Amino acid sequence: MDTLQYIVLANLFISAFFGLYVLLLKKETFFQVNRVYLLSSLLLSFILPLIHTNWFGQSAIAEQIKYSVIGKPIDVFATGQATESHFTFLQIISYVYLLGIIVFSLYLTIRLLAIKKILFSSVNRPSFSFFKRIYLSESNASNQLICEHENIHATQWHSADVLLMEIVIIFNWFNPLVYLFRKELKNVHEFIADEGALKLSDSKKDYAMLLVSQTFETPINNLVNSFFNQNLLKQRIMMIQKNKSRKSSKWKYLLSAPLIVLMLILSAATIKKTSTMLASSPIADTTKKYKITIAKSPIPSTNKNYQGPVFTAVENEPTYPGGQQKLNAFLQQNIKYPAEMRQKKVEGKVFVSFIVEKDGSLNELKVLHEPGYGSGQEALRVLGRSPKWTPGIQNGHKVRVQYVLPINFSLKG
């Protein structure tokens, strides 16, 4: 799985988890559980695409290689290979993405420096907390409810959640849902702190009036936990007045389990598709067109020369004309290290499967595994132009043989 696919899957999972939260969980008063759900779903969105990646790739390759004649690995080096000078669409997207990361990183740095300046400033500002630091304005210094509210933010490390969310936004700035995700997480923080502070209050109405009395104060920074926040006033008052959710409503959180299973299936399906997608398009050749398939078993051909059983073990294995050294030279001289793969310093092994027919031609070429960036397509392109091989022999007769050739793309030096 390449970086682009990983980012797409991670953001798709974030969207799915967030959709479940908005539809079923947002209105529940299990505030601590909601916090755990939001944080865990955020982390799972980046972990799930990685689970089974190696397992699936290895098992898929092993399943097909197990029943094939395996050739000796051939190294293809980047040294001396020509590279493309023009920008591809994917490269442009990558540069825009990296530019966004830089801009949002700088923005976060500026806000963190602003908080540092505020902490050492003597100017009277609205009450807030940031990690373990609690600041109470002169007018609120004696208010026990406000002090308890900010103390809950500090002791439960709500600022760590906020900072984690900001880091997620840096790398996923293009997804509008991550900003809504951040908003909901900050809302939950306030609900948790209000719930704790209410234990010291004699009346929910009095606490609500306290919120209204100074809620028009301007928040100093969206990274800190401010007691007064006009944007959250309505939601906070509604949650204060709302009756507690019944414990039986917690079953809704179990719905995330089948959602996780679906995500794992999608991840596995994406990995499988990645291993074979480049092999699904025909190879251009001036003399012959080869059919490439992603099927696990060979597709019968209408050509009489291509009919008959396919062997996976024979007395005399098929060979390239001239032997292994000639095959090495043919591939090394003709395969061009993909430009983007070389620029990103990516190395990896491509496993190409094909059938050596009775007449020595190569048929049903397909990629079992590849590191991406066009490496599989390049291997297929060159093998599609291979001269006819010496066919395999079994019991004195020429036979069709399933063959797997590993090609190692390596950055030399």
Token couple for 241: 């007045």
Evaluate if residue 407 carries a pLDDT over 90. no
Residue 104 has pLDDT above 90, yes or no: yes
Yes or no: say if 20 and 56 are a contact pair by the CB < 8 Å rule: no
Whether the CB-CB separation of 376 and 354 falls below 8 Å is answered with no
pLDDT band with cut points at 50, 70 and 90 for residue 292: very low
Report CA 365 to chain centroid distance, whole Å.
29
Report the pLDDT value the prediction gives residue 198, as an integer from 0 to 100.
Answer: 84
Is pLDDT above 70 for 134? yes
Dihedral angle over CA of 94, 96, 100, 101, nearest 10: 20
Tokens 């390449």 belong to 2
Model pLDDT for residues 25-34, shown as the tens digit of each residue: 888 889 999 9
| pLDDT beyond 90 at 119 | no
pLDDT digits (tens, 9 = 90+) for 148-194: 888 999 999 999 999 999 999 999 999 999 999 999 999 999 899 88
Average pLDDT rounded to a whole number, residues 21-45: 92
Dihedral of CA atoms 108, 114, 115, 117 in degrees, nearest 10, equals 150
Say whether pLDDT at 86 is over 90: no
